[in-house]
Amino acid sequence: MAIEAPLSKYKKNNFRISIVVLVGLAIWFAYDGYFSKAFAQKHTNQNGTADSTLVFNRKSPPYLLGAAFILGIYLFAIKDKKMVAGEDSLVVGKLQIAYDSIQKIDKTHFNSKGYFVITYKDYQGVDTDLKISDRTYDNLGAILDVLIAKIS
């Protein structure tokens, strides 16, 4: 029976908050740069040219909206990312780690900080550490229980 750990709500919500903040800043800067006469008058030099603040408020909204769009695409791309503890291996994204290649599991910080470290031998025989955090995946307690049961 495979146990799944989906992408955490913490990570998804951070992306959503970042997108909302970027769109809000783009609207705010666009309003100040193009529609607010008082702001434009305050940030215009004596010779009638815009100062750096007004120029920034006029040029930054497309870049902020572009960044929000890119974050939205990235969130859409990773929304179904998960970790699966199957019968014979642990699958983290596209990385597949066989249980017999896992050397040790360091779970000393799992209860206090929410992460554990797996040391395993990769396909070249090199010891590699993989830190798995509850800020990235939900349901890690069940995954850790399966890993300990398979390793023991």
Amino acid at 19: I
pLDDT at 11 (0 to 100): 94
Residue 44 has pLDDT above 90, yes or no: yes
pLDDT of residue 24: 98
Contact present, 126 and 120 (Cβ < 8 Å): no
d(CA 56, CA 51) in angstroms, rounded, equals 9
Q: Given a cut of 80, is residue 87 above it in pLDDT?
A: yes
| pLDDT at residue 152, rounded to an integer | 82
Query: What's the whole-number average pLDDT of the chain?
Result: 94
The tens digit of pLDDT for each residue in 93-131 reads: 889 999 999 999 999 999 999 999 999 998 888 999 999
Mean pLDDT of 10-27: 97
The alpha carbon of 150 is separated from its chain's Cα centroid by a whole number of angstroms, namely 29
CB 33 within 8 Å of CB 111: no
The average pLDDT across 42-48 equals 92
Give the single-character DSSP code of 33. I
pLDDT of residue 111: 93
Which pTM was predicted?
Answer: 0.82
pLDDT of the residue at 1:
73
Q: Can you tell me the mean pLDDT for 59-85?
A: 96
The region that residue 125 occupies, defined by phi over 0 for left and psi between -120 and 50 for alpha, beta otherwise, is left
Please give the pLDDT value at position 93.
87
- Answer whether 97's CB lies under 8 Å from 118's CB: yes
What was the pLDDT predicted at 7?
Answer: 94
* Phi, psi (degrees; rounded to nearest 5) at 124: -95, 0
